[in-house]
Structure 1
Amino acid sequence: MTSTENRSLPVLLSIRGEQYFDGVDPDATELMTEGTMELSEEGLTLRYQESALTGMEGTVTTFELRGPRVTLTRSGAVNSQMIFEEGRQHTSLYETPFGELSVDIQTSRLRHNLTERGGVMEIRYSIAVEHTVTGRNCFKIRVKRK
């Protein structure tokens, strides 16, 4: 196998999402799911199917790790893209059945130690919808080879 070939590895993903709103206890969701991890020269890609648990059934979620930047893309029933880069703000459009919203993502922390053996990725960010901050969020994703 050459180093330019993509390798898709079956993985088990433990995804914990926390949302903090002022004056309210954090809202946490935890999802265990099977997915794939692809390694290429550009970086690493995690992909999994959303379930009824997340309310996004019929949606494929992809995390693309490229250097200091992580791009989260959802396609299917829900379509969106969010770009995380520590210390930077990125604006993207979020499609809803009622129209598109402008979403600003300000990433305060982006850390991962992911390799082909698995690892952990943590992203902390605040989100502003139509330029109004709606809360602070944290993703923690544990990846285990199956």
Structure 2
Amino acid sequence: MRNTDQEKLPVLLRIRGEQYFDGIDPDQTELMTEGTLELTEQGLRLSYEETALTGMEGTTTTFAVEGGRVTLTRSGTVNSQMIFEEGRQHTSLYETPYGELAVDVQTSRLRHNLTERGGIMEIQYSIAVEHTVTGRNCFKIRVKRK
């Protein structure tokens, strides 16, 4: 991948999230927001600011996409890191106002066709908090250059 001097390209993001819990209808959210897309040595980085709508105002969310691995980092009022790698489980710490929780993330599907022109990323995963599965999640992010 060529070096673009870490140029941050303005993008429009459409983020759709679904959460599934046993015996309950799926919870769906959809967010349209502006962000930046940046090419890196390892792949690309997608960043946006959370809003009051997501309950995480004052937080920056970043997806570092490096081949078959995606690292989601939140920093600001909410601090956390989750690693998604298809067929693998990663444990991370999730910081809350009440302390830290160990969160196991098991990724069942990770697909993306992201380039500097945009694209789509889809991640399906389940989360276990303190080793108890709390639900299955899926999110799809559409990235369009502005």
1:111 maps to 111
CA displacement 1:121-143 (0-9 Å, x = unmatched): 00000000000000000010000
3-state DSSP class of the match of 2:71?
Answer: strand
In 1: Cα distance, 2:4 partner to 2:91 partner: 32
Q: Does 1:85 align with 2:85?
A: yes
| Cα RMSD after superposing both structures | 0.9
Distance 1:141 1:39 in 2: 17
C-alpha deviations, 1:93-123, integer Å up to 9, x for none? 0000000000000000000000111000000
Q: Distance in 1 between matches of 2:11 and 2:3?
A: 20
Correspondence for 1:8: 8
The CA deviation at 1:41 is 2.3
Residue 45 of structure 2 aligns with which residue? 45
Q: Contact conserved, 1:7 with 1:40, CA < 8 A, in 2?
A: no
Sequence identity (%): 81
1:139 maps to amino acid: F
2:61 equivalent in structure 1: 61
Separation in structure 1 between the aligned mates of residue 4 and residue 15 of structure 2, nearest angstrom: 29
Residue identity in the other structure for 2:114: L
- 1:141, 1:7 → 2: CA distance? 21
Give 1:40 deviation, angstroms: 2.0
Query: What runs of 5+ residues in structure 1 fail to find an aligned partner?
Result: none
TM-score (norm 1): 0.97
Measure the CA separation in 2 of the matches of 1:36 and 1:124. 23
Count of residues in correspondence between the two structures: 145
1:6 Cα offset (Å): 1.7
Please list every run of at least 4 consecutive aligned residues from structure 1 whose deviation after the TM superposition is greater than 2 angstroms: 2-5
Structure 2: unaligned runs, 5 residues or longer? none
The alignment partner of 2:53 has SS state of helix
